[in-house]
Structure 1
Amino acid sequence: MSVAAKTQEILSLARSRAVQDRERLLLAIVDLCDAGDGATAVMESPPVQALLSSIFMSLVVEAERDIRRRLAEKLADAEWAPVALINVLALDDIEIARPVIASSPVLKDNDLVRLLVEATIEHQIEVARRPQLGAPVVAAILEQNEPAVLTALAGNVSAQVSRDDLKRLIGAARRIAALRTPLSRHPGLTDDLARELYVWVGQALRNSLAARFRLDQTALDAAIAESIREAHGGVVSEVDGTVVFPQEDERAEMEKRLLAKLDQAGQLRPGYLLRALREQKLSLFIGGLTTLGRFDPDQIRRAIDSDRPELLALACASVGIDRSVFPTILELVRELNDGHPGGGAEGARRAAGAFGPFAPDIARTAFTKALAKV
């Protein structure tokens, strides 16, 4: 069929108000997308462009999901596609939106930034994965600071990520473990940035970074080990090598510095809290739980001084402590805190329910709300 005939067919279908003709119209356009240069000529012809601008939006809104999906797949690479239509498809269900977000040349930086603000996390992740992502969109992703979206950006090696952007991502890797592997492989990583990342990754990635950038692993590992060594509560005298234990106020300040250093190095983990209790360091446990959960110290102190062990359980669940470990933690806290949190065996049974099948952030929210009622 000639370009003129195809154009006339599309216009005839557009004039019809019958539901089946409207679906035929969309399907005809979908088929045209596979027809090569002749199709482009049809779609770029003034009558068809006018048609697209006037009625295409209502057609798409009324169309079945399968038709919208096929249309999105066919229009993903089309430079002639109407801007409004592409933006509507980009906000559709993620399975429909994905090819458009990934490839459409019609979507500009401002459109992508709007998706980051208005669309779901799944849409935002697809934006972060888009090839050749522009600097304004990268800046918007960093500003929003959403972990899953940051992780997708870290794995997008074609995005316009500057050195400062990488530095911000590495800073975020301190709390977002998923960022560490893609960042360790990023082509924009430099020697100094690799050293910053080194202290927050596991041994396998450390070895990889050391081999790639010729880092001094001995010096870096010694610095990290020093942070862990201080956890024993004393410092080594430079005079005779003996351990000197500080006064109470000095100890509190030392613990605060220690926890900050471990947290910055990515070495403050849930297992450290159990170790602190076994070493009879309740204040270190409280400080560690406060730091890991980003709580106020008074919140944790109120929880462990209460008669509701489920409060402590919620706080522990929010930082990733396992259900199986909590009975030991509760027993040790009670031993070091004059039997608190109280509640006896019944309280311990209630506390077990705090480790339900939900995410840590839900446990954190529940902890905050429950504590407000104490």
Structure 2
Amino acid sequence: MIVEQFLRWLTTASAEERAGAARPLVRACLHAGLEGPDRDTLEAIMMVYLDDGEACVRKALAEALAADPAAPHPVVLTLAQDEPAIAAAVVAASPVLLDAELVDLVAGGSLPVQIAAAAREGVSPGLAAAIAEVGEPAALVTLLGNHGAAIPVFSLKRIVERAGDDTDVLEALLERPGVPIGIRQSLLERLAVACHDLVLMRSTLREDRVEAILREAKDKATLALAAGARDEELRPLAEHLRETGQLTTLLLIRAACTGNIRFLREALAILSGVPPHRVSALLSDRREGGFRALYRKAGMPGRVYPAFRAAIEVNRDLAGGDGPVDTHAFARRVIDRILQQTGTADPEVADLIVILRRFSAEAARDGARRLVAETLQQPAALPGPEGDGLEDLAEAALAEEMGVDPEGLDAAADLAVPPFPANRGEADGGRPAADEARAATFEPEATEPAACAGDDLGSVDEIGPDEAEGVAPADGGNRRAA
């Protein structure tokens, strides 16, 4: 009798009244302990609600059933295929929908449905893969921000391929914990491409110059990523760079000459096929023969060998291992070591010296920025009781930083020689412009492994220090044969 009265009431009630009755109907059907014909009758009434012409009535039913594990599956599935706002309510929370059904809904659904699926409390790898494959950027951002979503690595790569240019997706990828380091580095590549197009549109620089600038910026960012990576992340990063053609000679020179020996070790292990622990032993060995043979087996170009040798020696002298080292001081010592071993007149290393000086200048600028940032974070110093001016305060701060007496600053300034002149062609005594041009267009060689006859890389007797083909002796050719 009550059911009959309710059905008659539905034919005359307003849309607002019918929507308001949805939740009591659900409670009566699912949680009043009804069984048999009475429950079937109430479920039939819910099916009648699905045919209601007013969206607000169907949405009220969807919201009432959304999170209920006892909700009738046919009703929920029908609501999930309704208008986007109605479907999103059940897709976001209903536990009765199967993963396969959710995948179909995402594939054929609208953006609200995709976002609702991405925001579910627990997103399975299959559903995450579906969203990564067909989801719009807003749905991908929601998925990446959902820490309860189990996103496979291949789906993260697919997101980068499909929407890596979207700034919101890029930010969500960078903020999501647990993203593999190789994928994070690939974001740098996508960012470099975007910057390339932007700079070309707004700059008067030649395209090749823009490409060189962006390549160096990307290499710096990659090595910064490597410097902050855990030991177990370095090998996947080096493998990713090799697979994508980014493990270049210039990148490895930068790594070596800025003290990033941990990354260099993993890169050499991959290129040479020598186990990392064996590479570590060779880098720590003061005898030159083992490292020279390792260098040859990695397929590295011979003319840049002095840079790697000097970097490893400086690393042993300064840190004795993988500890943090000031990159500017490290790069300067590497340059000085190369000049001592080869001489400034050696044409084989002229462009290499220019490159290393550029690395050192970059490190100096980075160090200056870091010093300014750290200084500004400290409490502001107030003038003393005698009314010291800003110049005196600046002089005292500089003297403290340099570790000298403030009165000696003037004398020190008279003796100081700037290591990086603004116009190197003039400051270096008329150095030919051709050297600068050759260094500016220095193309890194792709590092491919080369065959090596010797297996025991640590044996100086079996593989002499000067037997590596194409590797110039570090002393400019004056080394006696062993």
- Class of the TM-score when normalised by the shorter of the 2 chains: 0.3 to 0.5
Task: State the structure with bigger RCO (CA 8 A, min sep 6), 1 or 2.
Answer: 2
Compute the TM-score of the two structures, normalised by the length of structure 2. 0.38
* Structure number, greater radius of gyration: 2
